[in-house]
Amino acid sequence: MDEINEVYDKLGGIISKDDFTRKVEEKVEQMSGLCDTKTAAMLVAHDLGVSDAGDNQLQKISGITANSGNVKFIAKVMSVFPAKEFNRNDGTIGRVANIMVADETGSVRLTLWDDRADLVKTGEIEVGQTYQIAGYVKEGYSGVEVNIGNNGVFCQSDENIEARIDSKQIKDIQNGMGDLNIRARILDISDIRTFNKKDGSTGKVANILIGDETGKIRVTLWDEMADLTTELEIDNSVEIINGYARENNFNQQVEMQVGNRSTISKIEDEVEFKEDFTSISDIIPGESYSISGQVSGLGEMREFNRDDGTVNMVSNIYVSDDTGRIRIALWGDHALLVDQLDIDMAVEIIDAFSKSGFNDEIELSAGNRTKINIR
DNA sequence: CCCCCCCC
């Protein structure tokens, strides 16, 4: 027993003495008596990320990289994702679940298997709990993940952890990013739409527009996440955990996606947002812009038939600022605004899409995602 | 995975 104690003392309390002893016994059994207790204890210690050199330091999450190998640390649960079942080659049913944990230096995704994945299913693992964790690092679907394998440790701790989620700023969001955490203000909320998936089932989708001090981005919420939009209001500040960024294939704008691996929740801290208006002379085709200026031209409202036979309305106005003048096509209900507008009225056109239009001149399209303020 | 920027 002394020899177990000696090894145990190097572990820095990452695991209880009882658990350690049990693991050592299991290890002896696994090795079919081919190793003694001391060796088994050292093997278990090694599995827990403790080297013979007595390196029993707990790591911080910020120091975990794809090459870290075995790691151990203490962290707080920030989000829990649904467990999934899969079939193993031997016919048994495996279970896997992911949770996101954080310490004061950053956050990392954990992968739990089988019995531990079941703890997710039963709700025993909850946001806010703190755990002692030992596992091995691998490069996962969306970056570095810590796997808690058979020899890993995952036990609750009463340590007080100051968890920090490293939020990105909206301006830094790039196509392809995963595990994206954002704190932002809600600028707009869409209705929930349903659609048919390729597999024949019905999907749900909704959008919100969010902004922070650095910019704004459209967020797409899928299925059960789409329902959450009914609980949100414009000007709420929210935190999105584990979103991902994808370019849409319509106008190549990068959007943030919120699916079943993500969470969105209201936060107390208010995130500030200020609209960034572009000078008219700086507008190039193929982008979304907001401009502020005066009405400098008004056209007539017209109805027209689209190819699919539906009727729509359009009117054209011109807006000028210190730098130039641009034509703006107002579609749908926006077309009716020509009745309220007069030359020299101050207007803000928020989120209109630019393109090269009639006579190759750049114009803005004010569609259903555009907001128009008369000031 | 959805919406879609369309007129003269």
A140 neighbors A100 (Cβ within 8 angstroms): no
Query: What number is the average pLDDT over the span A132-138?
Result: 95
Query: What number is the average pLDDT over the span A298-318?
Result: 89
pLDDT of A4 higher than 60 = yes
pLDDT of residue A97: 93
Rg of chain A, C-alpha, whole Å: 28
pLDDT of residue A53: 43
Closest residue (CA) to C1' of nucleotide B3 is A193
Q: Which nucleotide is nearest to A352 (CA to C1')?
A: B5
Q: A365 beta carbon < 7 A from strand B?
A: yes
Q: A250 beta carbon < 7 A from strand B?
A: yes
pLDDT of A12 higher than 70 = no
Amino acid identity for residue A105 in this structure: T
**Number of other CB atoms surrounding residue A132 within 10 Å:** 22
Q: A331 beta carbon < 7 A from strand B?
A: yes
Q: A355 beta carbon < 7 A from strand B?
A: yes
pLDDT of residue A79: 82
CATH architecture of A280-374: Beta Barrel (2.40)
pLDDT of residue A142: 67
Q: Are strands A302-305 and A371-374 parallel, antiparallel or unpaired?
A: unpaired
Query: What number is the average pLDDT over the span A69-73?
Result: 94
**Number of other CB atoms surrounding residue A324 within 10 Å:** 15
Q: A244 beta carbon < 7 A from strand B?
A: no
Q: How confident is the model at residue A51 (pLDDT cuts 50, 70, 90)?
A: low
pLDDT of residue A115: 92
Closest residue (CA) to C1' of nucleotide B6 is A306
For A13, counting Cβ atoms within 10 Å of its Cβ (0-12 exposed, 13-18 middle, 19+ buried), the class is: middle
Q: A88 beta carbon < 7 A from strand B?
A: no
Q: Which nucleotide is nearest to A361 (CA to C1')?
A: B8
Q: Which nucleotide is nearest to A203 (CA to C1')?
A: B1
For A331 and B5, how far is CA from C1' in angstroms? 9
DSSP string for A309-350: S-EEEEEEEEEEETTEEEEEEEEGGGGGGGGT--TT-EEEEE
Q: Is the pTM of this model over 0.95?
A: no
Give the highest mean pLDDT range of A165-169, A192-196, A251-255, A344-348. A344-348
Q: A195 beta carbon < 7 A from strand B?
A: yes
pLDDT of residue A91: 93
Closest residue (CA) to C1' of nucleotide B1 is A197
A295 neighbors A343 (Cβ within 8 angstroms): yes
Domain boundaries, chain A: 2-47, 61-156, 170-266, 280-374
Q: A318 beta carbon < 7 A from strand B?
A: no
pLDDT of residue A182: 94
pLDDT of residue A150: 87
The mean predicted confidence, pLDDT, of chain A is 89
Tell me which of 2.40.50.140, 3.40.250.10, 3.40.640.10, 2.60.120.10 is the CATH number of domain A170-266: 2.40.50.140
Query: What number is the average pLDDT over the span A196-204?
Result: 88
Closest residue (CA) to C1' of nucleotide B4 is A250
DSSP string for A220-282: EEETHHHHGGGG--TT-EEEEEEEEEEE-TTT--EEEEE-TT-EEEE-SSPPP----PPPGGG
pLDDT of residue A7: 77
Q: Locate A365 and state its tokens.
A: 């399209």
Q: A310 beta carbon < 7 A from strand B?
A: no
Q: Which nucleotide is nearest to A358 (CA to C1')?
A: B8
pLDDT of residue A54: 44
Q: A259 beta carbon < 7 A from strand B?
A: yes
For A106 and B3, how far is CA from C1' in angstroms? 35
Strand partners, A147: A111, A136
Q: Which nucleotide is nearest to A363 (CA to C1')?
A: B5
Q: A203 beta carbon < 7 A from strand B?
A: yes
For A183 and B6, how far is CA from C1' in angstroms? 35
CATH homologous superfamily of A61-156 equals Nucleic acid-binding proteins (2.40.50.140)
pLDDT of A212 higher than 50 = yes
Strand B nucleotides where any atom sits below 7 Å of a protein CB: 1-8
For A337 and B7, how far is CA from C1' in angstroms? 16
Query: What number is the average pLDDT over the span A346-369?
Result: 92
Closest residue (CA) to C1' of nucleotide B8 is A358
Q: Which nucleotide is nearest to A260 (CA to C1')?
A: B1
